[in-house]
Amino acid sequence: MKFLSEYRDPALAQALARRIRETATRQWTLMEVCGGQTHTIVRQGLDELLAGAVEMIHGPGCPVCVTPLEQIDRAVALATRDDVIFTSFGDMLRVPGSDCDLQQVRARGGQVRIVYSPLDALTIAERHPDKQVVFFAVGFETTAPANAMAVWQARMRGIRNFSVLVSHVTVPPAMEAILSAPDNRVQGFLAAGHVCAVMGWTEYEPIAARYRVPIVVTGFEPLDLLEGMLLCVEQLERGTHEVVNQYARAVTREGNAPAMRLIREVFELKDRQWRGIGTIPMSGLGLRPAYAEFDAERRFALEDIVASEPVECRAGAVLTGQLKPHQCPMFGTACTPERPMGAPMVSSEGACAAYYNYGRFRTARAAATAGAGT
């Protein structure tokens, strides 16, 4: 295949769906670990296409969604300072904090700038030596190399008015936290192809063996996902539990060695708080002591800013697959993209946003109304 349209071929998709339905002797429960994959599945109706053979539940694969409330509050505190230019990717601006979001700070005159790379933030720091420039370093292993490069460059070039507010998380500990939970329903995983393009898949092999679950590294197009589901179902039917790479056009077992070296040069593993989930031990990345001067939390003494998640928001249950978005009592009523209670409703990769934008909440509500009337 050479062209994107080939990965969306409806005839091939129907053929793969038939193979999945013919292979499955029961309904298997799979989890995708990427918000981009969630949106493809919901937008294209892949889960509905396979009803009875595969149930897809949605994991904590949206980095915006899992960024904890207290980290948003820290970002807001920085953005309101007169001496700070706060820089971020655009998808973080509408994530609700305790009192407001970054977009509201910007509307009130705060110096909040959208950038497309952390190196853009570094350039801003060079051009404004009289200001402290902070970059919101959010994401899984996918964005870690670029963020590590920005910090490394700042140190090498002596740019001392630059720092990063780090909220990096890593995928394997989250998968283990889900699998070890007493109410776990996941029988197989579709792993995020872009994370594995950086890190390879060796970290997943012990997880597959320990928990006896198949893990398929999968791309993001409809045919990628359907083939990933098929490879996972075939293993479940055979009773095997291996890591298989569907996304061979982009991923190797060893990953991107230079990117991993840079990550390990700048970052180290640490405990990390996840929105709605709590602390997962050694699931995050923090700056190593050699780069601690570029840590915004330390530079601006933000450690004392803590926050509790609103109890009404069921983001944690959605992010761990215990709840489908439309099953949350707040979904589509008290919580909408215009008035979000949690990050999964505003993120471009959030499961709640996917269900809302692609009409699933209307379908669910119509079904409930019809049932009530019979």
Contacts for 21 with CB less than 8 Å, ≥ 6 apart: 50, 52, 53
Give the pLDDT confidence score for residue 374 in this predicted structure.
44
Buried b (16+ CB within 10 A) or exposed e, 129-140: eebbbbbbbbbb
Read off the DSSP letter of residue 115.
-
Give the pLDDT confidence score for residue 1 in this predicted structure.
53
Give the pLDDT confidence score for residue 342 in this predicted structure.
87
Joined tokens for residue 56: 């897809």
Cα–Cα distances in angstroms (integers) from residue 58 to residues 75, 102, 173, 263, 345, in the given order: 27, 27, 16, 27, 14
Single pTM value for the model? 0.92
* Separation of alpha carbons 169 and 283, rounded Å: 6
pLDDT along the chain (374 residues), means of 10: 78 96 98 95 94 95 92 97 97 93 96 97 97 97 97 98 97 96 95 97 98 97 97 98 97 98 98 92 97 97 90 90 91 90 90 88 54 50
